[in-house]
A and B are shown apart, each in its own frame.
Chain A
Amino acid sequence: MLWLDTEASVTVQAPRMRHAVGASVVDRAKAGDTSAFRELYAAHHRQVARQLAFLVPRADLEDVLQDVFIEVFRSIRRFEGKSAFTTWLYRVTVHVAMKSRRKHTRARLDIVEDVPEQVDEKPRPDDVSLSSERQARVEALLQQLSEKKRTVLVMHDLQGIDAHVIAEVLDTNVLTVRTRLFYARRELEALAKGDPALAEYFEEKP
């Protein structure tokens, strides 16, 4: 099958001593130690930013990342250690992302962008990555979905999270997750087919 021919890579980065960030940092943060907050941010900011991609628009990523850590700092006392800290953090991230969407939809920057005129290249069969313009269009379509549908679609189809785990993170049941996923996929397909720059992806090849 095609995917077996991929050249997927696993890049190993320099190992570090574990005791720098561990359970004790969380305990210190729970006790209100400011330097522990700094350590938590240093250890997890990149991971949280990656998890926020597509859940929130690019323009909001910086603000939402900040909101996530404010929420972490504010509610860390309620973290009981029943799950791993990163699992709890992921849950906070998703919930803040959903809440931020509601907050930010009220007022958007009134900017008119001059997109340079370009000849739209056909996607090459050996290149799966989208051109920057197509990427921007797909991102915009994702943002048109309701936050519930988009969250499930991004978590399942882009982050590869199992429906059961999504249900747990969102405090709902698997059936609801599957239903939202079904409608999110159909809605995205319909939106993309209606976009002249993306419609060709849906043309049936003989």
Chain B
Amino acid sequence: MSAHLTDEQRDEVARGRSDATLDAHVAACAECRAGVADAKGRLKLLGGLTPYTLNDMAFRRVEARLMEQVEEGLPSPWPAWLKVVVPLVAAAAVLVVVAPWKQEAKVDLPASPVAVVRPAPKAFTPMVATFASADARRRGDDGAWSPVRAGTEVSGGIALSASRLILSGAQLTLSAEGDFATAGQAQVVLGAGVLAASGEAEVLAGTRRMTGVECVFRVERTAAEVVLEVASGDVLVFDESSAQRRSVKSPARLRWADGTALDQGVSETLVAFEGPKAPKAPVVTLDLSGLPDGTQVSIDGQGFGETPFTLAFEPGRHRVALTPRGQPTQERFIDLVGGAPFLLGLAPMESDRDVEAPEPDAAALARVLEDLRRQTPKLRACYEKWLKANPSASGQIDLVLVVTAKGSVKRAQVKGDPISPESAACLKTTAKSLVLSPLGSEQELEVPLVLTPGKR
């Protein structure tokens, strides 16, 4: 071998998978040895990286923003200048045509909220709306009102209006009937502070907003700079002016040279009500859109009135009573699991009931889980094929299995993160050899698998 090693050969040697010819070449070629050393260093660095992701609260924030956008209409892919110019031209045209017959405009906005936040402590507790009547609204920085739904995170400094709204923080639940607000300053964009048992909160205004979950942080302003000190947890800093985000993990101390960006906000007294125990994050949003309007909803003995409204609850088992107008009350238990919204509907009438095979119960699924866990080594062997190609390979995939009534796997598919083709083929073949507890009828199951490389 006279030429130097190719890129692939360098990596092969660096991984210790070379043959005698390659080894002999490397031994005789100083340049190739240096290349292999570089490849080894790179492989070590990349192999030692831990993938990062978002926490549950961040995922919920994204979901809330997405749903708001979907319901209000997705942002246009057109350039921003076009979005400004076209409405202006259209408005000018309308003015020219309509101006002579102009009538007094009627704006259907909620009544102006009352300011109710007062400065105090040094930590921040976000509030989550756990109950929101259909007319619940919050005022954005641009002064426009948008709907508030259960599950929406509400920061201090945001004006709210609703006929009924329950906000839950880690330490306090606020509830009010009639016009209600957590702050009266529409221009206040930073909500940093704590809602303590006495019902006080600190609000700072500025172009940077800081939010956090179960964390303690302090914002300090000196003559020349602003300091953010995160004692525990992590805090998300969102810069309104540049639309940049940054997650700051504890312990950390950040300072801004341009101290002018943060200003002390206006603050007033907060009216607090002792409410039910605040749910632990993450709450689960109940999707009530399937219930007919006017259905009475009661959960764990607490009545919430008639639909439509939105509701969020802490995960776990809850007793639900639903009373549609003119129909008997239906009672049952529901199991709320964090993450996806729970669709709460009425049980079908006997005549509407699906005549197909019944779904397996939780116990049957638990038996299948046990079966799968026992047979994990077979699946791991397939994962190791991928690891062989890429020592840092990891991810989460879903094994989609069509399981016969007797428990044998009829079909198998691999979905989710992309994995190596050899590993996917192996998983499919292996899945078909799995023996599972009978489910009573043919079922399609989705089995999440988390693939984690071990330490070497």
Contact = CB atoms under 8 A, between A and B. Distances in A.
Interface of A: 1-21, 34-35, 37-39, 41-43, 45-47, 49-51, 53-54, 58-63, 65-66, 69-70, 73-74, 84, 86, 90, 104, 107-114, 116, 123, 126-130, 134-135, 138-139, 157-162, 165, 178, 181-182, 185, 188-189, 192-193, 198, 201-204
Interface of B: 7, 16-17, 33-34, 37-42, 44-54, 58-59, 61-63, 65-67, 69-71, 74-75, 77, 236-237, 239, 242-247, 251-258, 287, 289, 339-341, 359, 365-366, 368-369, 372-373, 376, 379-380, 383-384, 386-393, 395-396, 400-401, 415-421, 443-456
Across the A-B interface, give the 3 residue pairs with the lowest CB-CB distance, nearest first: A7-B454, A160-B390, A18-B444
A128 B44 contact: yes
Contact of A50 (B41, B51, B62, B236): B51
B258 A61 contact: no
Contact of A159 (B75, B396, B418): B418
A45 B396 contact: no
A129 B388 CA distance: 18
Given A6-B387, A59-B246, A66-B65, A126 B49 contact: no
A163 B391 CA distance: 17
A41 B59 CA distance: 10
Given A4-B384, A138-B45, A202-B40, 10 more contacts: A7-B455, A8-B453, A10-B449, A49-B53, A60-B244, A65-B62, A128-B456, A192-B45, A193-B41, A201-B44
Nearest to B451: A10
A11 B69 contact: no
Contacts of A10: 376, 379-380, 383, 449-452
11 contacts: A8-B451, A45-B62, A74-B77, A112-B255, A129-B50, A139-B49, A158-B46, A159-B418, A160-B419, A202-B38, A202-B41
B415 A128 contact: no
Contacts of B46: 138, 157-158
Given A2-B16, A5-B456, A112-B254, A49 B449 contact: no
- SS class, residues of chain B in contact with chain A: mixed
A43 B340 CA distance: 8
A45 B56 CA distance: 11
B387 A3 contact: yes
A116 B254 CA distance: 11
A96 to B, nearest CB: 12
Nearest to B343: A35
B354 to A, nearest CB: 11
B54 A18 contact: no
A161 B66 contact: no
A134 B52 contact: no
A59 B254 CA distance: 15
A9 B454 contact: yes
Contacts of B50: 129-130, 135
Contact of B287 (A35, A46, A114): A35
A66 B49 contact: no
Contacts of B17: 1
A160 B389 contact: yes
B179 to A, nearest CB: 28
Contact of B242 (A7, A43, A107, A204): A107
Contact of B255 (A2, A114, A138): A114
Contact of A8 (B237, B341, B417, B452): B452
B67 A61 contact: no
Given A90-B418, A165-B418, A182-B7, A127 B67 contact: no
B45 A130 contact: yes
Contacts of B376: 10, 12
A59 B49 contact: no
